[in-house]
Amino acid sequence: EAGVAQSPRYKIIEKRQSVAFWCNPISGHATLYWYQQILGQGPKLLIQFQNNGVVDDSQLPKDRFSAERLKGVDSTLKIQPAKLEDSAVYLCASSLGGSGVYEQYFGPGTRLTVT
C-alpha cells in the first residue's frame, strides 16, 4: 500500500511570497489532516477534512492560509502571504475515519523556510 505523498519536500521563500503544498492521501482514506510542526514542538492541527468537507479549521489562520480538497482525494494547502513565523514542517496525514482506534498515517512533510 502506497503511503501518504507530499510535495515538495523542501521550500525556501521570502516573506510576503506565496507557497502551495500538495498532499495525496492513502487511497480510500476519507479523513485528511494538515498539521504545522514548528521546530521543537509537536504537530498542531490546522485543518481536518472528511471527504471534501471541512470538519475543523478553527486553528487555521484564515487571513493567510487556505486549503482545499477537491473531489475528496488530493489536497492543497496555500499560504499567501508568508510570514517568518510560518517556517515549519507541514505534515499531511490521512485516516479511514470512523470510530474506534484511529490510526493516522503521516506523510514525510514539507519543510518550509521563510526568509
Partner 1 sequence: GEDVEQSLFLSVREGDSSVINCTYTDSSSTYLYWYKQEPGAGLQLLTYIFSNMDMKQDQRLTVLLNKKDKHLSLRIADTQTGDSAIYFCAEEYNFNKFYFGSGTKLNVKP
Site residues, partner 1 (CB under 8 A): 4, 31, 40-45, 48, 55-56, 91, 93, 95, 97, 99, 101-104, 106-109
Cβ at position 78, least distance to partner 1 in Å: 20
| Residues 82, 13 contacting (CB under 8 angstroms) | yes
For partner 1, the closer CB: 46 or 79 = 46
Cell matching residue 13: 521563500
For partner 1, the closer CB: 70 or 101 = 101
For partner 1, the closer CB: 60 or 109 = 109
CA angle 29–32–38, rounded 5-degree value: 140
Q: From CA 54, how far away is CA 14, in angstroms rounded?
A: 29
